[in-house]
Amino acid sequence: MDKSKKEYVYKLLYSKNRKDTIDEIKSITDFTLLHIIAGNYNWDNGFEIPYSIINNKNCDLGTALMIFYDADGYRALENKEELKNPNLKEWANFISKIGEKIINNEFKVNHIKFIPPLTKVQIFKLKKNNPSITKVFIEETDGCVVEIPII
């Protein structure tokens, strides 16, 4: 990634004007750039930026899965009751929304490889507790590996 793109990502991630950042992300057509923004996102800043990424029509399935796991989606796969925790409503809404979009195959771009960060034991437990689990959550996707530079 060239220096100007790194600076662009930095400005987006550290901008004080969240509305401008969200508007800018909505207009990004480069799926790799969306992936790099997502990979450098600070989750302490809430869900607005990740929502804008997953709602961008150019968001890759690999990026959506990375966001799902970075947002601790594994916890919901492991135990759906976690989504009912009244203290975690914002998280539960986000995980439900992105999980639904993934299951419904709403991410049409599939150029970025994603390998779920799961051990064989975790995969076994997920399959045992939920035999109908959608494979996309537990198997690697097609595509190319995208290195995410630290911004």
Q: What is the pLDDT of residues 125-137, one digit of tens each?
A: 999 999 999 999 9
Cα-based angle 146, 150, 151 (whole degrees, multiple of 5): 115
- The answer as to whether 75 is a domain residue is yes
Assign 144 to helix, strand or coil: strand
Total count of domains within the chain: 1
- The answer as to whether 66 is a domain residue is yes
Cα-based angle 143, 30, 9 (whole degrees, multiple of 5): 110
- The answer as to whether 128 is a domain residue is yes
pTM of the model: 0.95
Q: What ranges in the chain are assigned the alpha helix state H?
A: 3-14, 18-26, 31-39, 48-54, 61-70, 73-78, 89-103, 120-129
- The answer as to whether 151 is a domain residue is no
CA atoms within 13 A on the CB side of 30: 11
Phi, psi of 69 (to 5 degrees): -70, -40
Domain, as residue range, for 20: 3-137
- The answer as to whether 93 is a domain residue is yes
109 pLDDT higher than 90:
no
pLDDT of residue 89: 96
pLDDT confidence bin for 108, thresholds 50/70/90: confident
Quick: pLDDT tens for 34-89.
999 999 999 999 999 999 999 999 999 999 999 999 999 999 999 999 999 999 99
What's the CA gap between 38 and 26, in Å, rounded? 13
- The answer as to whether 150 is a domain residue is no
- The answer as to whether 107 is a domain residue is yes
- The answer as to whether 142 is a domain residue is no
